[in-house]
Structure 1
């Protein structure tokens, strides 16, 4: 029988074919970043493990080794984003080298910078997460916990700005500040040639946040 040579040189790589080797230390962050991007771009309806695996460049089975189910990956992606910003805001709140008012302004700047930088996906990702929180139990509990943690972070800064307030009043104002930030996520987007409006909104936000924090009870 004549031997048949099979030429694989022109074979195209399958969408989920691995491009490189990795381990948990390197692979998990890559998967999470891809999951964040896929949820932001395609929404909950278009979020699929195979799509995430393809973006990372790994087999679906490899992805499922780290995140066995769709819910596992969605949960981890939501945890990653919330922890990322919660840690950042908490570090600003605890920065005793700056006055509490300056720390509050710094949080405003971080929020606007993140929402307006080119290629950012934070706004659509948050909107999808909140939407899932209305329909899926696992997301509902996560969103409730994240909201509480962010509100507590703002409340602690309000207490530093206005020590005369009761803990209950600080908690209320912390909730109001976080609610305003959530509104910014809905309204503020990367713009072309419209930076003046965004900068005016940034400055106005600082005035409003300072006034809300410093007002007497």
Structure 2
């Protein structure tokens, strides 16, 4: 590998480490507590090194949100490679999202994102972009399950499915006590999502 390629790879790895540290800090401590200095310390680098990549807190926040979005796209592709049929890919991705609801960092991240987007127009803009990508992934999964479904209907149902998954976080997400008598919650969500995806 040439010196320039080595430096580029090293730089990309450093950026990933910074963004992962920022993602965890955002989910665990919140937007107001996140600072360039704290993220640099968590990533094990000097503040000036972090500022070389992200000069401001807002630039870092935007990159953290975009990085988080890319993690879901990567999971989407990995599950596609492991799935033998479109139905299997759909169900495995929906199940992945439900399991992800129970992750501490995931729950914290989205609670912080929703709260921030409620009062911050910039955060709201980024959140809309994230959900646009997210629902497009779901719509792409839906397409082979019912090719005759009108595109607008498919898009609407993709948002419905995303809402089902987000809502599940409030009941079975990290730190939540499962409601009494609710046993097949996760399986039911997958079945509801599949019905929305495949039925007219």
TM-score range normalised by the length of the shorter chain? 0.7 to 0.9
Q: Deviations over 1:145-201 (max 9, x none)?
A: 11111112212222211122111111111111111122123333346997xx88722
Quote the offset at 1:95 in angstroms.
5.0
- Is residue 158–residue 173 contact of structure 1 (8 Å, CA) maintained in 2? no
Which 4+ runs in 1 deviate beyond 4 A? 94-97, 191-194
- State yes or no: 1:45 paired with 2:32: yes
Alpha-carbon distance in 2 for matches of 1:97, 1:63? 39
Counterpart residue number, 2:13: 26
User: What do the CA deviations read for 1:12-47 (whole angstroms, capped 9, x no partner)?
Assistant: xxxxxxxxxxx5233212111110111111111111
Relative to 1, partners in 2 of residues 1:97 and 1:125: Cα closer, same or farther, differing over 3 Å?
A: closer
Which residue of 144, 153, 175 maps to 2:137?
Answer: 153
Residue 100 of structure 2 corresponds to: 114
CA RMSD in angstroms, aligned pairs only = 2.6
Counterpart of 1:162 (choices 120, 143, 146) is 146
TM-score (norm 2): 0.83
> What residue in structure 2 maps to residue 103 of structure 1?
89
Cα shift readout 1:92-128 (whole Å, capped 9, x = no counterpart): 4x559522222121012212332335xx301110221
Alignment of 1:6-85 (within 5 A): 23-85=10-72
2:127 corresponds to: 143
Change (3 A) 1:98 1:134: same
Q: Name the structure with the higher helix share.
A: 2
- The runs of 5 or more residues in structure 1 that have no matched partner are 1-22
Report 1 or 2 for greater relative contact order, CA contacts < 8 Å, sequence distance ≥ 6.
2
- Which one has a bigger Cα radius of gyration? 1
Stretches of structure 2 that go unaligned for 5 or more consecutive residues are 1-9
Q: Distance in 2 between matches of 1:59 and 1:198?
A: 49
